[in-house]
Amino acid sequence: MVMLPIEPRPFFANKDRAFWNLQLAGWGGAFLLRAITAFANDQPWDFLVILLIQVVTGFSLSLILSVVYRQLITQRPLVTWGVTGLALVVAAGAHAFIDGWVLDLARPQSEGTGFVRLFLGIYFYDLTVLGAWSALYYAINFFLQVEEQADRLERLEAQATSAQLAMLRYQLNPHFLFNTLNSISTLVLLKQTAPANAMLSKLSSFLRHTLISEPGGTVTVAQEVETLQLYLGIELMRFEERLRTEFRIDPPADKAQIPSMLLQPLVENAIKYGVTPQEEGATISLVAQVVGPRLRVTVSDTGPGIRKGGSGGGSQELTEVLDLHGRRYTSTGVGLANIRDRLAQAYGEDHRFEIRSPESGGFSVMIELPFETAPQPAAEPSPAAPHEQPAPASTLTQPAAVSPVLGLGRPQSAG
């Protein structure tokens, strides 16, 4: 037996349908309750006709009130509640008049109860019923207005967040291009046209690769590492053996989702402040691992680090780090601040962003995010060819093992 998927729909998704469902259910329940009460008091069966007329009258008057209330709900409070009270008094009077007239026609002539006393006795009951209906009508509509405003505010916040993420993401492109084009300009001034042309080609490949990802979207760690390989291919032409890299990506972490172009500014920062100042260069390491329900990514370098007045190592505030960077080098101050803002926009408080620069040297940035993977689409098996025979085991090509440690440039010699 095939089970059809059931998708729950909000009750008030269609307001008109919800209104009629509540009307029928409410007044139908009122008729049923009054009928049970009448039978419990030994009323005759023809009394059901009187009850039906009363319920139909209340149903009709509530429809008229709904039209009036729909116009009043958007007015000033004084107008809304004043006119609502007046309309409720008039509707209850009409309801009591019709109910009293029907009961007066149906009761025996021997009963001496006057119509006025009968009207007053029924009036307060009908006023209570229509008053409860009016209160419920306003409560539901005010609740729906609050829900609509909350949904609208949530959509606006999502749009603002998306726009902020896109702005921060676009901010990286001119920052990176500024540094890379300066390097190409230097090569041209030194009349090294071949390296300059090669760097332009690699820059073109890198930009083409980055344009694939959406500004506010996410990519896997493996895709981000692929982008870094293209970027480092450009930087290797500048620094050659001075730039050494080591990537250690644990197998579960390579499928984790992170904001696109999140790690490139960190590596660029490590090159600028770790590799450039030292004649011997530095080693840049990237480690990605899953720690419980979190993804932890650490980018570190063996450069001079940042030391302030002989203070000990440990975690430092980002504003302090940017201030020290600005004193020592000419910097646009985009990289680390950009990442901090992007993480705050995307994850709120559910992330960690720590900077460490020990006294012994070096600099590291640790990012910790919720571990999330992209949903994998269900793979459909392709039908085999009619006369295709499986290849012998000896002729099957075995995939090469992929090492979790990747390197670019000349490895650092031990000892």
Contact residues for 372 (Cβ-Cβ < 8 A; gap 6+): 256, 257, 295
205 falls in which pLDDT band (50, 70, 90)? confident
CATH number attached to the domain at 217-374: 3.30.565.10
296-343, pLDDT tens digit by residue?
Answer: 999 999 988 875 543 334 444 555 555 554 444 434 345 677 788 778
Check residue 273 and report its DSSP letter.
Answer: I
Please count the other Cβ atoms lying within 10 Å of the Cβ belonging to residue 363.
Answer: 24
**Once rounded to an integer, what is the mean pLDDT over residues 123-144?**
91
Q: What percent of the chain has pLDDT over 70?
A: 72
Check residue 373 and report its DSSP letter.
Answer: B
12-57, pLDDT tens digit by residue?
Answer: 778 888 889 899 999 998 889 888 888 888 777 878 888 888 899 9
Token pair of 98, please? 């019709």
Please report, for the chain, the start and end positions of each structural domain, with discontinuous segments joined by +: 15-154, 217-374
Kindly calculate the radius of gyration of the chain based on its CA atoms and give it in whole angstroms. Answer: 38
Q: Is the pLDDT of residue 87 over 90?
A: yes
According to the model, what pLDDT value does residue 294 have?
93
67-79, pLDDT tens digit by residue?
Answer: 999 999 888 889 9
**Once rounded to an integer, what is the mean pLDDT over residues 355-383?**
77
